[in-house]
Structure 1
C-alpha cells in the first residue's frame, strides 16, 4: 500500500471554497480505482494549512489518478488558491 500525504497552504479567503471543493470531490477520489481511502485534515495551529492523506494500492494507481480528468479538473480549481506551493510525499507502510 502507498500512502500519499499532501500539504497545502491556502490564502485565508480561499479556505471555505477549498473545503467546499474537497467535500464535492472526496467521494469521487475515494471511488477511483486503486484508492481505498482519502481524508482531509486541518492544521491545529494554522487553519490555512491542510493535509490530504490518501491510500492507494500502489504507485501506478496513484499515477493513473494523477493523469485523470478528475485530478486535472480539481487541481485547476484548487491550485490558484494556494498561498505557497503544495508539498507531497509518497510513503510505504512498514
Structure 2
C-alpha cells in the first residue's frame, strides 16, 4: 500500500473555496480504482494549511488517478488558490513487507 501526503498552503481568503472543491470531489476520489482511504487534515498552527492523506493499492493506481479527468478538474482549480507551492510525497510502510526491490546502500 502506498500512502500519499500533499501539504497545501492556501491564500487565507481562499480556504472556503478550497473546502468547497474538496467536499465536492472527495467521494469521487474515494471511488477511484485503488483508493482505499482519503482524509483532509488542517494544520494545528496555521489554519490556511491543509494536507490530504490518502492510501492507494499501488503507485500505478495513484498515477492513474493523476491522469484522470477528475484530477484534471480538481487539481488546476485547487492550484489557483495556493499561497505557496505544495509539498507532496509518497511513502510505503518500512519493514520486511516493503515493496522496495533493492537493499539500501551499505554505509562506508
Quickly name the TM-score band, shorter chain normalised: over 0.9
Runs ≥4 residues deviating over 6 A: none
- Structure with more contact order per residue of length (Cα contacts < 8 Å, sep ≥ 6): 1
Larger-Rg structure:
2
CA RMSD of aligned residues (A): 0.6
Q: Does 1:82 align with 2:82?
A: yes
Q: TM-score, normalised by structure 1?
A: 0.98
Structure 2 runs not aligned, ≥5 long: 95-108
Structure 1 runs not aligned, ≥5 long: none
Q: Distance in 2 between matches of 1:51 and 1:76?
A: 17
Q: Distance in 2 between matches of 1:75 and 1:4?
A: 15
More helix by share: 1
Q: How many residues align?
A: 94
Q: Distance in 1 between matches of 2:4 and 2:67?
A: 15
